Structure 1
Amino acid sequence: MSEKIGPMNLLVATNLFPDTKEPWRGLDNVTLVHAMRQQDPGLNVRVLAFRPSVKHWGAAALYSRPEDAGLHPQYFWAPYVPRLGGMNHRLFSFAFARALKALPRDFTPDAVLVPWLFPDACGVVLKASEWRVPIVAVAQGSDVHSYLNMPMRRRAILAMTRGISAIVTRSNDLEKRLARNGADERKVHTVYNGVDIHTFKPASRAVARDELKVPQEGKLLLFVGNFLPVKGLDLLLAAFARVVSSSPQPVRLALIGGGPLEEALRAQAGELNITDKVQFLGRHGASRVARWMQAADAVCLTSHNEGVPNVVLEALSSGRAPVCMDVGGIAEVVEPVLGKRFLVPQRDAGAYASALLDALANPPDEEALHQAAVKSFAWEKCAQQYLSLLRGEA
């Protein structure tokens, strides 16, 4: 495609983009795109949002959230056949090529952003590399942690890296994993996700608890995320039961999110005799999550693996200690601010409970945590780094 002078046309293609049925899907990606538009108001964005399916094919009857209408998202089913495993990027490429026909005729991409490596970025490169415009893929976590251990997917990912301009990893740990597996180190860049420092900020715990109808007495722990095996919530409940029995004052645990493990988690809470101390709150938007963080005393994360999850940055920006398993890239953002104090090295309920009790008894300075987030993780900084890569400047 020929060069042009004027505002950049950015095409975003990904399965991780929200709609009205799944407004939580790919929130970090849509927030990034909005942040880039704030930094470059002339940025002309079109989003092709895909949903993998073994049954459907073609356009999907899904609709964007009102706040995303300016990004012009269009939704499509992408064929995904589990038995094909490492060949699904070719099916995704076919779906991508067909979806391109829905773009306005006067929209010629100057750059392409593809969050998620396989099959999304691998499939897009098969078609878009012929355009000779910057293509930036984003490695988000399990697309590196899991897929590099699968031979066919690893080959597809490494082949994709040869036809792409840059790969963004959301932690240095992910960058090193890609390099160890043969990716061109010159193309891989760590850019930490941003955090909305205006929404996630310290505030009166008492006022937040009054608003949320949380008792003023006692301590409150908070989890935010999907109820999936990778999140290690069985360990969190086991550790929380120990905290309840050891704490000199009442302690509650609030869980924001949802997923297939909810029934099993409720059953485990019953077996541990902590049902009356655990709240399942369902899914909530960012402003409500921020209010719960302001009401809480610490934020919990017991994942088996992670990149740098948004909830850790949100906790820091809210002035709340994130008590985490020391996995993936979490230490990269927590240790410079808090040292290793709240990083638990082994998956042991007693060790994790001890870290929680420490956070409750000796909380860090909340304003210092917030200022550290402002300095390093504001969305404005993140968006500028992406824009540089998409313009071919980095």
Structure 2
Amino acid sequence: MPAKNGLMNLLVATNLFPDTKEPWRGLDNATLVHAMRQQDPGLNVRVLAFRPSFKRWGAAPLKPRPEDASLQPQYFWAPYVPRMGGMNHRLFSFAFARALKALPRDFTPEAVLVPWLFPDACGVVLQAAAWGVPMVAVAQGSDVHGYLNMPMRRRAIMAMTRGISAIVTRSNDLEKRLAKQGADERKVHTVYNGVDIHTFKPASRAAARDELQVPQEGKVLLFVGNFLPVKGLDLLLAAFAQVVASSAQPVRLALIGGGPLEEALRAQAAQLNITDKVHFLGRHGASQVARWMQAADAVCLTSHNEGVPNVVLEAISSGRAPVCTDVGGISEVVEPVLGKRFLVPKREASAYAAALLDVLANPPDEGMLHEAARGYAWEKCAQQYLTLLRGKA
């Protein structure tokens, strides 16, 4: 158990943690750990960060971002065999056991945090359950939406829930899905991701556009995220084309992010004859994303499924309405602030375009939105995690 003087050795094990090559990977997990340390300076953190690989084993030649150096992350390959997907937690357990040998001799974990259920938490619990310390797993979204439909992975996840202290779900929807499969409801706690209300805040749209060299006239819609099938960006482009056709003023769509679908999205934009109005900006850090939100008129999300994505809270905190497909736990944070006005229930381009035209014509008060976001500040989120990690839930 944690020492009586308040100091605690916290071990974080996950495949979702950033490095210099993928600074966006698991960024919310790194932000969470930093927030916990700010709330509890006595937290002594060590991070074991894994990368799945079919061929490579042992230490991975990756380096932490400068801002994460104080968390002392070490990177390792974790064996992953696609055709044995339901058994990969056992391979992850093997990699975790080997990685433990790299920890300092005087570091004895007094609590364990594992963001991502399968294979991460399922593998770690096979080694760490016997330690007798609080162990908290984090369900982030796809690890519940997708894996509970796969029999072998579902069995591994349910077995893991029996050997763990607590499971954090980043939406109430995820909590209900786990409980429906038989997870002990006393162990499952919804803790929404935090938002940096000091970085993501309302500011002069004109000044932001000047800084980013965005024309002052017209409207700007913004997407932030990975270019992956789950994000449903084909729907966004189709709806945006309708907005362009219906709008009497210039409208632009800025896409921050990257991923395997970029080429297909560029081709779709060309087919829809909106290439000159769709801007692929690449990946950006938090401060630059915040500046783009201040320059934009609304933020778009057209996902097939989600937990509660950070971008939704960041948009609200920036005073910009998020226009979202009504999936996963998104409504849990949007509806109390904006009602169902910008929650699109059907995957129809015309319905999503109508919501975009509505927000451009009638934007909500940005001060009201930012004030609502204060309830999701990282400081509050970190305190909830610390309570669970100290076994006080």
Q: Same fold (TM over 0.5)?
A: yes
> Are 2:39 and 1:45 equivalent residues in the alignment?
no
- SS of 1:239's partner is helix
8 Å CA contact 2:2, 2:8 repeated in 1: no
Structure-2 separation of matches of 1:235 and 1:4:
52
8 Å CA contact 2:2, 2:9 repeated in 1: no
Question: Which residue pairs with 2:228 in the alignment?
Answer: 228
- SS of 1:288's partner is helix
- SS of 2:101's partner is helix
The one-letter code matched in structure 1 to 2:287 is: S
The one-letter code matched in structure 2 to 1:30 is: A
Structure-1 separation of matches of 2:42 and 2:209:
41
Question: Which residue pairs with 2:219 in the alignment?
Answer: 219
TM-score (norm 2): 0.99
The one-letter code matched in structure 1 to 2:382 is: A
Structure-2 separation of matches of 1:132 and 1:353:
53
Kindly state the Cα deviation for residue 5 of structure 1 after the two structures are TM-superposed.
2.6
Kindly state the Cα deviation for residue 338 of structure 1 after the two structures are TM-superposed.
0.2
- The CA deviation string for residues 160-190 of structure 1, in whole angstroms up to 9 with x for no partner, is 0000000000000000000001111110000
Question: Which residue pairs with 2:64 in the alignment?
Answer: 64
Residues 307-346 of structure 1: pairs in structure 2 closer than 5 A: 307-346=307-346
Question: Which residue pairs with 1:173 in the alignment?
Answer: 173
Question: Which residue pairs with 1:391 in the alignment?
Answer: 390
Structure-2 separation of matches of 1:318 and 1:367:
9
Kindly state the Cα deviation for residue 348 of structure 1 after the two structures are TM-superposed.
0.2
Question: Which residue pairs with 2:347 in the alignment?
Answer: 347
- The CA deviation string for residues 209-264 of structure 1, in whole angstroms up to 9 with x for no partner, is 00000000000000000000000000000000000000121100000000000000
Structure-2 separation of matches of 1:22 and 1:288:
17
> Are 2:164 and 1:164 equivalent residues in the alignment?
yes
Structure-2 separation of matches of 1:66 and 1:267:
37
Equivalent pairs, count: 392
- SS of 1:185's partner is coil
- SS of 2:280's partner is strand
The one-letter code matched in structure 1 to 2:378 is: W
Question: Which residue pairs with 1:264 in the alignment?
Answer: 264
Kindly state the Cα deviation for residue 4 of structure 1 after the two structures are TM-superposed.
3.1
Residues 269-284 of structure 1: pairs in structure 2 closer than 5 A: 269-284=269-284
TM-score (norm 1): 0.99
The one-letter code matched in structure 1 to 2:243 is: V
Question: Which residue pairs with 1:114 in the alignment?
Answer: 114
Structure-2 separation of matches of 1:109 and 1:315:
37
Structure-2 separation of matches of 1:266 and 1:248:
24
Structure-1 separation of matches of 2:85 and 2:21:
27
Structure-2 separation of matches of 1:79 and 1:41:
35
The one-letter code matched in structure 1 to 2:222 is: L
Residues 1-394 of structure 1: pairs in structure 2 closer than 5 A: 4-6=3-5, 7-374=7-374, 376-394=375-393
- SS of 1:161's partner is helix
Q: Which consecutive aligned stretches of 4+ in structure 1 deviate over 3 angstroms post-superposition?
A: none
Kindly state the Cα deviation for residue 3 of structure 1 after the two structures are TM-superposed.
5.7
Structure-2 separation of matches of 1:175 and 1:221:
32
Structure-2 separation of matches of 1:201 and 1:14:
30
The one-letter code matched in structure 1 to 2:247 is: S
Structure-1 separation of matches of 2:339 and 2:85:
41
The one-letter code matched in structure 2 to 1:384 is: Q
User: Which ranges in structure 2 are unaligned for 5 or more consecutive residues?
Assistant: none
- The CA deviation string for residues 336-371 of structure 1, in whole angstroms up to 9 with x for no partner, is 000000000000000000000000000000010000
8 Å CA contact 2:56, 2:79 repeated in 1: yes
Structure-2 separation of matches of 1:380 and 1:360:
32
The one-letter code matched in structure 2 to 1:390 is: L
Kindly state the Cα deviation for residue 296 of structure 1 after the two structures are TM-superposed.
0.0
The one-letter code matched in structure 2 to 1:347 is: R
- SS of 1:55's partner is coil
Kindly state the Cα deviation for residue 55 of structure 1 after the two structures are TM-superposed.
1.1
Structure-1 separation of matches of 2:287 and 2:85:
38
Structure-1 separation of matches of 2:103 and 2:343:
46
